């Protein structure tokens, strides 16, 4: 299991290392300049893939949280923690690139509309999930509380996804009902390349972090046995 995980992480990291410069070229050179917003719209090709990766990490977080609550196996909590940290990284990237794009597009860095607020809530929940693990008196208690938050996070991701449809607002809807979008073919291609490369990057970071957390968990278990005088 460990070898296959390490191999998968190495392969995805290698592909991501090659793919990210390609995705950047598609975003900055290949895609045509948007007529209204100009070059600042190119942030879109990083902003949307980062959001998609944060969603995927939250899906892994949901599955790992449910499996931990069902089996009480700390390996699932380790995977949950790795997914949480990776999701937080990409969610933060979304919240950084979004205002940079919003300022020239909307004339303001931030607006309190549903999708933006629910994305900010997602970041807060991800941070809370890490904090309860860190400050809980017992490992199992922290893992259980984090798992409950993991399920809550999945609900918030669904709210983010449906926010524009439910409450409208200024935020554009990239993927419309029926799978139809409003992007030019070259823009769609650049977005697709970015999504693939960002996904590979997210998977590789999550697997690398999972391996690191597993090493930490085994080290803590060994120290605990030594403190109890066990061999």
Q: What is the pTM of this model?
A: 0.88
pLDDT digits (tens, 9 = 90+) for 121-170: 999 999 999 999 999 888 899 999 999 999 999 999 999 988 877 777 66
The pLDDT value given to residue 230: 62
Percent of the chain with pLDDT over 90: 58
The pLDDT value given to residue 1: 54
pLDDT digits (tens, 9 = 90+) for 5-64: 667 778 888 999 999 999 999 999 999 988 888 888 899 999 999 999 999 999 999 999
With bands split at pLDDT 50, 70 and 90, how would you rate the model's confidence at 176?
Answer: low
Instruction: Tell whether 221 is covered by a domain.
Output: yes
Report how many domains make up the chain: 1
The pLDDT value given to residue 11: 86
By residue range, what is the domain housing residue 162? 2-31+42-169+182-227
Lowest-confidence pick of 92-106, 171-185, 212-226? 171-185
- Token pair listed for 165: 């449809």
Instruction: Tell whether 87 is covered by a domain.
Output: yes
Cβ atoms of 150 and 80 closer than 8 Å: yes
The pLDDT value given to residue 174: 57
Instruction: Tell whether 117 is covered by a domain.
Output: yes
Which residues on neighbouring strands pair with residue 38, listed in sequence order? 34
Instruction: Tell whether 48 is covered by a domain.
Output: yes
Instruction: Tell whether 175 is covered by a domain.
Output: no
Q: Domain containing 155 — which CATH number?
A: 1.20.120
Please tell me which residue, 171 or 109, carries the higher pLDDT value.
Answer: 109
The yes-or-no verdict on residue 231 having pLDDT over 60 is: no
Instruction: Tell whether 88 is covered by a domain.
Output: yes
Instruction: Tell whether 133 is covered by a domain.
Output: yes
Distance between CA atoms of residues 67 and 147, nearest Å: 9
With bands split at pLDDT 50, 70 and 90, how would you rate the model's confidence at 197?
Answer: very high
Instruction: Tell whether 174 is covered by a domain.
Output: no
């Amino acid at each position: 299991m460990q070898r296959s995980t390490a191999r998968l992480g190495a392969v995805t990291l290698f592909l991501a290392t090659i793919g990210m410069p390609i995705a950047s070229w598609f975003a900055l050179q290949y895609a045509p300049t948007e007529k209204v917003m100009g070059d600042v719209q190119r942030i879109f090709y990083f902003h949307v893939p980062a959001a998609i990766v944060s969603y995927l990490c939250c899906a892994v977080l949901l599955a790992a949280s449910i499996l931990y609550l069902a089996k009480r196996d700390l390996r699932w909590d380790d995977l949950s923690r790795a997914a949480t940290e990776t999701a937080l990284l990409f969610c933060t990237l979304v919240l950084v690139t979004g205002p940079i794009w919003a300022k020239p597009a909307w004339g303001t860095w931030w607006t309190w509309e549903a999708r933006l607020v629910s994305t900010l809530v997602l970041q807060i929940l991800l941070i809370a999930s890490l904090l309860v693990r860190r400050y809980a008196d017992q490992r199992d208690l922290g893992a259980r509380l984090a798992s409950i938050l993991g399920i809550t996070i999945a609900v918030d991701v669904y709210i983010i996804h449906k926010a524009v449809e439910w409450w409208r607002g200024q935020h554009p809807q990239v993927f419309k009902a029926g799978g139809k979008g409003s992007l030019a073919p070259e823009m769609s291609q650049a977005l697709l390349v970015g999504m693939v490369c960002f996904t590979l990057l997210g998977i590789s970071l999550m697997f690398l972090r999972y391996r690191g957390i597993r090493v930490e968990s085994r080290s803590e278990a060994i120290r605990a046995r030594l403190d109890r005088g066990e061999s």
